[in-house]
Amino acid sequence: MTKFKLSALAVLMLGSVAGQALAAPDWSKAATRTITAVYAGNSPIEWIRKGLDHSGARGMKKGETCVVCHEKESVEFGQRMASGAKLEPEPIKGKVGSIPVKVEAAQDGTNLYLRFSWKQPPGGGPKMDADNAVKLAVMFDASKVELADLGGCWSSCHGDARTMPGVKGDKTKYVKDGSTANGVFYDLLQWKSKTNKGTDGYVADKRVMEGGKLLVDAKGEQKGDNWTVTFTRKLTGGGEGDINLESGKSYNFGFAIHDDYSHGRFHHVSFGYKLGIDADGDFKVMK
């Protein structure tokens, strides 16, 4: 895999151009949590809500989150799907069921900083996305997307989306009643390993990978088998498809990793968590 390195001159040039925007936060003071990203297989939101197939559907109707039921069993949960034992009609040889990811969050009143660190698991599957060994996506919701407070970004995963078993067409991720005008959308950031850059978009009635104005920087680095990806994002001031992260409020938050050149539904995803900006949450991110 490609290793990303910057010369000392390049670092100085970037610093002189971006100034404070690219200044690293004090990660020793960051809100930190290790989250297990699980292989999701063919488990769209329709399956999750169907009580005959998913026993947790009854709990969700009562307001129970996916984390409450599955966090402690996430390794087993992911392995069953990666192996094809459950909800995966097209198992990939060598695909691991879960990836433990160290997630750190910090903010300085102007920018939010997110850092993801993990050990690259063994691979060997088909190169679905031959250009990108790894992609990492982050999504935020301001409590407007149905069920996002319970399942994070799972509400964007539907059984009729492309790459789902037996589906023909090019339908992307979307959310029920999605509309940027009505505030019903996920704010989406994605980093790709080929360009070592990020994109800023959203998921509403469809997925749009551009148009956002809050992403300042996204960089990844591989050292041996270890990856680190860092996003720098303005807290507020964006346009269509951007969510203002305001002090004193909490937001739904989730992420996904496409490893080993995978794409579509063949990814590892987190359950849903709360990101608090000077507020309570699974990540209490204080200035």
The answer on pLDDT for 52 being more than 90 is: no
The answer on pLDDT for 4 being more than 50 is: no
Q: Mean of the pLDDT values across residues 134-141?
A: 98
- Residue 55's pLDDT is 80
**Is residue 21 in some structural domain?**
no
Task: List the one residue out of 191, 193, 190 whose CA is nearest residue 203.
Answer: 190
Confidence of residue 59 (pLDDT cuts 50, 70, 90): confident
CA distance 191 to 209: 11
Of 71 and 27, which is predicted with more confidence?
27
The CATH number linked to 119 is 2.60.40.1190
**Is residue 3 in some structural domain?**
no
Return mean pLDDT, the chain: 91
State the total domains in the chain: 1
Q: Mean of the pLDDT values across residues 144-169?
A: 95
**Is residue 15 in some structural domain?**
no
- Residue 18's pLDDT is 40
**Is residue 163 in some structural domain?**
yes
- Residue 96's pLDDT is 96
The answer on pLDDT for 44 being more than 50 is: yes
Confidence of residue 12 (pLDDT cuts 50, 70, 90): very low
The 10s digit of each residue's pLDDT in 73-119 is 999 989 999 999 999 999 999 999 999 999 999 999 999 999 999 99
The answer on pLDDT for 15 being more than 60 is: no
> pLDDT exceeding 70 applies to what percent of the chain?
92
**Is residue 2 in some structural domain?**
no
Question: pTM here?
Answer: 0.90
Q: Mean of the pLDDT values across residues 273-285?
A: 98
Q: Which domain range does residue 98 map to?
A: 31-285
Confidence of residue 1 (pLDDT cuts 50, 70, 90): very low
The answer on pLDDT for 23 being more than 90 is: no
The answer on pLDDT for 8 being more than 50 is: no
Confidence of residue 142 (pLDDT cuts 50, 70, 90): very high
**Is residue 13 in some structural domain?**
no
- Residue 22's pLDDT is 61
Q: What are phi and psi of 148, to 5 degrees?
A: -65, -30
The answer on pLDDT for 13 being more than 60 is: no
Q: What is the DSSP string of the chain?
A: -PPP---HHHHHHHHHHHGGGGPPP-GGGSEEEEEEEEE--S--HHHHH-TTT-TTHHHHHTT--HHHHHGGGHHHHHHHHHTTSSS-SSPPTT--SEEEEEEEEEE-SSEEEEEEEEEPPP-----SSTT-S-EEEEEEE-S-STTHHHHGGGGG--TTSTTSTT--S------TT-BTTTTBSEEEEEEETTTTEEEEEEESSSEE-S----EEEEEEEEETTEEEEEEEEESS---TT-----TTEEEEEEEEEE-TT--TT-SEE---EEEEESS-SSEEE--
**Is residue 19 in some structural domain?**
no
Q: Mean of the pLDDT values across residues 256-272?
A: 96
**Is residue 38 in some structural domain?**
yes
- Residue 162's pLDDT is 94
The 10s digit of each residue's pLDDT in 186-239 is 999 999 999 999 999 999 999 999 999 999 999 999 999 999 999 999 999 999
Q: Mean of the pLDDT values across residues 48-58?
A: 84
